[in-house]
Amino acid sequence: MSAKLKSSISSCFKMHGLSLRSDAAKYLTDILSTLNEREKEDWLERIIESVRKQPLNSALLKKSLIESAVEECKQGEDDDSDQVFNVIDAFSVPRFTFNQEQKKFVKDPKAVNLHGNAAVKNALFLDRYTLLHQRTSRHSLFTPPVQGTTVDTKTTKFQLKPVEFLLGSTAKIGELIVLGMLTQLKEGKYFLEDPTGVVELDLSKAQFHKGFFTENSFVLAEGWYEDQVFHVNGLGFPPPEPADVTRSFFGTVNFFGGPLPTSAKSSEKLAAIETSNQEAMFVLLSDIWLDQVRVREKLSTLFAGYSEMPPTCFVFCGNFSSAPYGQNHVKSLQESFRILTDMICEQPYLMENSRFVFVPGPQDPGPSSILPRPPIPQCISEYMTQKIPSAVFTSNPCRIQYCTQEIVVFREDIIMKMCRNSIKFPESRTEIPKNFMKSVACQAHLSPLPLHVSPVYWSYDNALRIYPLPDLVVFGDKYDPYTVTTAGCIGTNTGSFSKNGYSFKVYYPHSRSVEDSQIED
């Protein structure tokens, strides 16, 4: 029996290009021999996934490495029930890079410098391109038919070409599709750039698909090449990929961040807790001007209304003041948060059973407008965190893991910037939310804009990436409220609570639905 199990274990590792030393194989055989067949398969899959996440110097695995992988899996199983709710700071989001040889994402263990050098900026765009290229290459439109299978003549297959393929040709080439970054290297002239080169574009006859096409966004350009110019017939985005499809290729890797060793989606315990708690809800608000008496009155009404059925979490996004500048700004905010703390404390049942997450806005106190933004300074939040232990002041953007669900919160007036910098504006204003959400999902990035328009710390660009796509992305934008779903990812904009009639959103994880709410006058 043990010989058969040992052979089965070795075969599983060999399928992933790995081999076990004899002592490692014996160790695994002894551990798994007490489990039933289904448990053996589950544990083997998790152990292999844990091993693959580690930087391997050799495909021949030592016993010590297997032991650490087993301990990690055990820890994950023990801790699952305690990890129902986690707020993940943008500066602690793990950084993964795609390894072309291994065809998998590898965690970067290197320490990060906030102010990186020129090589870090280069890696920022290269990592974005590599992520989108591997995703696009796996799409059904770009995967060649498997030999020996029946070819579907109704489905047209395409082949991605690098820019250097165009530059190396002297004759006219037709029916090309190239993935690259849209740039404007000369005034009024657009170019397509990838790691292999740059080619000038002729967009005079191009048909634009849905989305906001801005500089530094990655596009699929279809057309023909002649005389060192790529004449574009159609311009679109790399197709988005549902999260379950991504995970089917990369397993239980925890891209999202947080304390769990593997993705929360793979936890049966967390899934059971989520299913049993059908009353869970998230109350989402943005632009809460705490210095205005009328706004504080409406918040008091909100807390009183939820006092008997406390939500899982309140998410408050800035700006937290209607007058964000001046010498008394910090002192005013200190007093405003002190009043808000006392308001919450008046509802003890709510305070004990709900969590309160605060995300800074563009005009709240902080070092600069560069993303990601650190939390609101401790000198402002200290009184609340002492009085309310469940209050969390976090970065912008931030991530929230609730059971198996992944939620991203981003407070930025991003739609206005996208509209201003797009080379093609949507035909109808009503199409703006759909175009915006498609752009974000296709680019797998919260802010697919030029760095001079939306500055990003080069070393922390990964904190703005959304891959795999989360269950919910909350935009605290002053634009009109909306809710749009793209590739299984819900994108919702709360709108301005203070300027938009005290409206807000409520998210129900059990049904994965968003409800419009408002406090009437």
Q: Above 60 in pLDDT, residue 77?
A: no
Span 144-170, mean pLDDT? 76
Predicted pLDDT of residue 150: 58
Q: Which two tokens stand for residue 98?
A: 């795609």
Per-residue pLDDT of 396-434, as tens digits, reads 999 999 999 999 999 999 999 999 999 998 888 899 999
Longest Cα separation, the chain: 77
Per-residue pLDDT of 48-63, as tens digits, reads 877 876 767 777 888 8
Predicted pLDDT of residue 19: 87
27 by DSSP, 3-state: which?
helix
Cα separations in angstroms, 80 against 88, 252, 271, 355, 448: 16, 14, 10, 19, 34
Highest mean pLDDT among 108-117, 142-151, 228-237, 250-259: 228-237
Contact 1, 41 (CB under 8 A): no
User: Could you tell me which residues come within 8 angstroms of residue 434 by beta carbon, excluding any fewer than 6 positions away?
Assistant: 210, 484, 486
β pairing state of 405-410 and 472-475: parallel
β pairing state of 189-194 and 173-186: antiparallel
Helix axes 414-421, 432-443, angle to 10 degrees: 90
Predicted pLDDT of residue 155: 64
Q: Is 439 exposed, middle or buried (0-12, 13-18, 19+ CB in 10 A)?
A: buried
Alpha-carbon distance of 115 to 239, in angstroms, equals 33
More confident residue, 48 or 330: 330
Q: Which two tokens stand for residue 354?
A: 């709900």
Per-residue pLDDT of 118-141, as tens digits, reads 999 999 999 999 999 999 999 988
User: Could you tell me which residues come within 8 angstroms of residue 170 by beta carbon, excluding any fewer than 6 positions away?
Assistant: none
Q: Above 60 in pLDDT, residue 388?
A: yes
What is the pLDDT of the chain when averaged over all its residues?
91
Predicted pLDDT of residue 154: 61
H or E element, residue 32: helix 22-32
DSSP at 215: T
Task: Report which of 213, 217, 219 is spatially closest to residue 160, judged by C-alpha positions.
Answer: 219
More confident residue, 206 or 34: 206
Backbone angles phi, psi at 181, to 5 degrees: -95, 135
β pairing state of 229-236 and 197-202: parallel
Task: Report which of 210, 115, 170 is spatially closest to residue 458, judged by C-alpha positions.
Answer: 115
- For 33, how many CA atoms within 13 A lie in the half-sphere containing its CB? 14
204-223: burial string, b at 16+ Cβ within 10 Å, e else: eebebbebbbbbbbbbbbbb
Alpha-carbon distance of 482 to 422, in angstroms, equals 20
Give the residue carrying structure tokens 């009639």.
501
Residue 69's pLDDT band, with cuts at 50, 70 and 90, is confident
**First CA to last CA distance, the chain:** 74
Highest mean pLDDT among 51-55, 234-238, 517-521: 234-238
Share of the chain above pLDDT 70, in %: 95
Length in residues, the chain: 521
User: Could you tell me which residues come within 8 angstroms of residue 458 by beta carbon, excluding any fewer than 6 positions away?
Assistant: 116, 120, 121, 123, 124
Residue 81's pLDDT band, with cuts at 50, 70 and 90, is very low
Give the count of beta carbons closer than 10 Å to the beta carbon of residue 101: 5
Per-residue pLDDT of 169-222, as tens digits, reads 888 898 899 999 999 999 889 999 999 999 999 999 999 999 999 999 999 999
CA-based angle 356:352:93, to the nearest 5? 35
